[in-house]
Amino acid sequence: MTIQTPTPFPAPRAPEQVSFDRQELGMILSLYGRMVAAGEWRDYGISCLREVAVFSVFRRTAEHPLYRIEKRPKLRGRQGMYAVIGMDGQILKRGHDLKTVLRGLEKKLIRAVD
Look at residue 107 and tell me whether its pLDDT is greater than 70. no
User: How far, CA to CA in Å, does 72 sit from each of 21, 24, 104?
Assistant: 13, 13, 19
- Categorize the per-residue pLDDT at 8 as very low, low, confident or very high, splitting at 50, 70 and 90: low
Which pLDDT belongs to residue 7?
64
Q: Where are the domains of the chain?
A: 22-113
Three-state DSSP class for residue 44: strand
- Categorize the per-residue pLDDT at 10 as very low, low, confident or very high, splitting at 50, 70 and 90: low
pLDDT digits (tens, 9 = 90+) for 52-83: 999 999 987 667 889 999 998 888 888 888 99
- For the residues 33-55, what does the mean pLDDT come to? 90
CA distance 55 to 48: 9
Q: Quick check: 32 and 39 in contact, CB under 8 A?
A: no
- For the residues 89-114, what does the mean pLDDT come to? 79
Q: How many Å is the Cα radius of gyration of the chain?
A: 18
Look at residue 111 and tell me whether its pLDDT is greater than 60. no
Q: Quick check: 56 and 44 in contact, CB under 8 A?
A: yes
What is the DSSP secondary structure assignment for residue 63, as one 8-state letter?
A: S
